[in-house]
Amino acid sequence: MSERAQQIHTQQEYIKLVDEMVEHDKHYYDECKPLISDFEYDQKMHELICFEKQHPDWILPYSPTQRVSEGATKGFVQRTHLVPMQSLGNTYSENELGDFVKRVLKLLDRKEVDFCCELKMDGTAISLTYKKGQLSHALTRGNGQVGDDVTENIKTIKSVPLKLTGNNIPDVMEVRGEIFLSLATFHALNAQREEEGLEPFANPRNAAAGSLKLLDSREAAKRKLNLVCYAIAQDQSPRDTQLETLEYLRDLGFPVSKPEHVSKASNINEIWNFAQKIHHLRELLPFEIDGIVVKVNDLRAQDILGTTGKTPRFAMAYKFESEKAITRVNDISVQVGRTGVLTPVAELEPVHLAGSMISRATLHNADEVKRLDIRIGDWVVIEKGGDVIPKVARVEFSKRPIESKSWKMPTSCPVCQAAVVHREGEVAIRCPNPKCLGQRVRKIFYFASKQAMDIEHMGERVVEQLVKKGLVSRISDIYLLDENKLAALEGFKEKSIRNLLESIERSRNCPLSRFIMGLGIKSVGNETAELLADNMRDLDHLLQITEKELLEMDGIGEKTARLIADYFRDADHREEIRLLLQHGVTPQRVKKKIVIGHAFSGKALVLTGSLENYTRDEASRLIKERGGHVSDSLSKKTDYLIVGSDPGSKFDKAQKLGIQILSEDQFRRLVES
């Protein structure tokens, strides 16, 4: 790499390299089509960093190296919006949407008006100001007049252009958009927070807003925020319509909604068709939306319509109601996680909701139980928003049985009866006993799970039996299992024994990153595990790793570095790894590319029927590359069934089981997302 650092010498060569890297980022992040290999990209980036170290005064503010600020923690400065940030009038009713259309026609005194229909992104609003094509500052909505300057955090978002492209760049422009988190990133973030004893975010919107307000931009960078733009508050560009605005924004390098998520409509019927189409699509989108926004397309007409103080007259949001069902809480159980965190779970009377049977819903932690004031025997409203995970929205207090008592977290672990602990400053209540059977089962199950060693047929029930019968008490014991031992398991016959032993055998040569994942090191998810694997010479290197070395890896902060180094210093952990190796586990160093946070990541997919544009092998490869798992047989555990033409009986079975069905077109869109 150091040879390449010699290749640029002049300021001009430097500018050229910066521009080239900006272009690569755009292809990688916006279009998901990298032009060069990761290796070449890393080399060029290294070259850029080296050169900038030698010539700090030449550093361009839009250089990709400037995305993460090294600046110290600071509070937020407040600034005034050049144009106030308004909110939108909204409705849940088709009739009121019709009234909006009639009102617009009347006010404009026209028989027909074109509308631009868009997704209503469920994130947090942002205003981005560009001066001479460079990002100058980014403000939150605040009170609409004055917002917080969150520029440093915004700069860490890869999809935010630091420098605009195209020929038509205005001197000053203020662009409006939404900062959001994909559902996959949101769930990963919450899972990590729950493990760390922090309160999970209620929804992706709160998570996005909270992340924008993080004072340390390096922390914000890890949250993987995203941007989509939908309006220009001020510029001098020649545009006549909202649809042209979106095109223009795209040309300047801003991320805007995909063309299939925007539609021109000339009357209420067309608007309604769009609303219906998007409503159906909602569950398949990798991010949350809460409705659609309908805007008068002609910008001059928008000006004529003006505003009613708080909201513009030219636009209206039509919001989707989330699907709801009412059911009874039969019990509130408590699960013990692999790190000892106790999670209350509502055990519900099974009920149908948005295409699937729901019988459980997590209540996250004791604070949430208190907030909802949920009790055993209560009737509750459960709902599914854009997200596929149902949640308890509220209790029907009018139906509460008189004799009900408020529910309290147990004071001892429901599995090992150890007295629980509540650390100061944490929301979580934990079982402190590392030998707890519950924790052990979860640890071993996690090690065997799809995201780690991927040992098929080793579900939670099987692990529970193995631990209870004393056949497995630590993860390395898995590799000492044989036919005789497995014969002791309930329901295990020749074939199931063979299947399980074969899966265990296959897992011996797992990729190093999955092995690291399986260890269950606190704060180490998929991404950090991959990062560690990519940066390690071998497992020995990992066992000797120091905090200093870890901190040099881009993407590992102080806290994670300490947790990792501590983990590998611990004698018990070292012994476990030694035993795993001794029992024939040989993790492999492979550099493979998995898209993290993709809708398929960690999901089980099954194919049926023939696809028009993909062979089976191609479709399987695309799924695997995105972190998914392809299986031949359909079961309750299947997440998606992809249906081609002439589907087999799997189609009917999937419908009965309430499994999400994807058409080839929906599959393609998810592949490309």
- Residues 129 and 161 sit within 8 Å (Cβ to Cβ): no
- Residues 567 and 611 sit within 8 Å (Cβ to Cβ): no
- Residues 147 and 81 sit within 8 Å (Cβ to Cβ): yes
The residue within the footprint of ligand IVH, chosen from 25, 52, 118, 664 (CB under 6 A), is 118
Measure the CA–CA gap between 66 and 152, rounded to whole angstroms. Answer: 10
The interface mask with ligand IVH, positions 204-233, x = CB under 6 A, is --------------------------xx--
- Residues 375 and 388 sit within 8 Å (Cβ to Cβ): no
Candidate segments 86-94, 467-475, 574-582, 607-615, binder of ligand IVH by CB under 6 A: 86-94
Residue 208 CB, nearest distance to ligand IVH (Å)?
11
Q: Which of residues 146-185 bind ligand IVH (CB under 6 A)?
A: 178
Measure the CA–CA gap between 605 and 633, rounded to whole angstroms. Answer: 9
Q: Is 312 in the site for ligand IVH (CB under 6 A)?
A: yes
Q: Which is nearer to ligand IVH, 125 or 510 (CB)?
A: 125
Candidate segments 310-318, 380-388, 413-421, 647-655, binder of ligand IVH by CB under 6 A: 310-318
543 phi/psi in degrees, rounded to 5: -65, -20
Q: Which is nearer to ligand IVH, 68 or 108 (CB)?
A: 108
Q: Which is nearer to ligand IVH, 119 or 531 (CB)?
A: 119
For 459, residues 6+ apart whose C-beta sits below 8 A from its C-beta are 445
Instruction: Identify whether 120 is a catalytic site residue.
Output: yes
The residue within the footprint of ligand IVH, chosen from 293, 316, 380, 643 (CB under 6 A), is 293
Name the residue type at position 396. E
Q: Is 121 in the site for ligand IVH (CB under 6 A)?
A: yes
User: What is the C-alpha radius of gyration for the chain, rounded to an integer number of angstroms?
Assistant: 27
Q: Which is nearer to ligand IVH, 113 or 231 (CB)?
A: 231
- Residues 257 and 230 sit within 8 Å (Cβ to Cβ): yes
Q: CB-hemisphere CA count at 13 Å for 570?
A: 12
Q: What angle separates helix 204-212 from helix 183-195, to the nearest 10 degrees?
A: 80
End-to-end Cα, the chain, rounded Å: 33
Q: Which is nearer to ligand IVH, 231 or 305 (CB)?
A: 231
Measure the CA–CA gap between 7 and 5, rounded to whole angstroms. Answer: 5
Q: Is 104 in the site for ligand IVH (CB under 6 A)?
A: no
Candidate segments 117-125, 296-304, 589-597, 620-628, binder of ligand IVH by CB under 6 A: 117-125
Catalytic residue among 26, 44, 120, 155: 120
Residue 257 CB, nearest distance to ligand IVH (Å)?
7
The residue within the footprint of ligand IVH, chosen from 60, 125, 427, 466 (CB under 6 A), is 125
Candidate segments 82-90, 277-285, 597-605, 612-620, binder of ligand IVH by CB under 6 A: 82-90
Measure the CA–CA gap between 499 and 458, rounded to whole angstroms. Answer: 10
Q: Which is nearer to ligand IVH, 289 or 342 (CB)?
A: 289
Q: Which of residues 374-413 bind ligand IVH (CB under 6 A)?
A: none
Q: Which of residues 313-352 bind ligand IVH (CB under 6 A)?
A: 315, 317
The residue within the footprint of ligand IVH, chosen from 6, 37, 87, 406 (CB under 6 A), is 87
- Residues 496 and 504 sit within 8 Å (Cβ to Cβ): no
Residue nearest to ligand IVH (CB): 125
Give the interface size with ligand IVH as a residue count (CB under 6 A).
Answer: 15
Residue 253 CB, nearest distance to ligand IVH (Å)?
19
* Cα→Cα distances 94→25, 117, 275, 316, Å: 42, 15, 10, 12
Q: How remote is the C-alpha of 617 from its chain's centroid?
A: 27
Measure the CA–CA gap between 291 and 289, rounded to whole angstroms. Answer: 6
Candidate segments 8-16, 118-126, 405-413, 428-436, binder of ligand IVH by CB under 6 A: 118-126
* Cα→Cα distances 165→36, 161, 465, 533, Å: 20, 9, 60, 36
Q: How remote is the C-alpha of 497 from its chain's centroid?
A: 37
Residue 307 CB, nearest distance to ligand IVH (Å)?
8
**Residues tagged active-site:** 120
| List of residues contacting ligand IVH (CB under 6 A) | 86-88, 118-121, 125, 178, 230-231, 293, 312, 315, 317
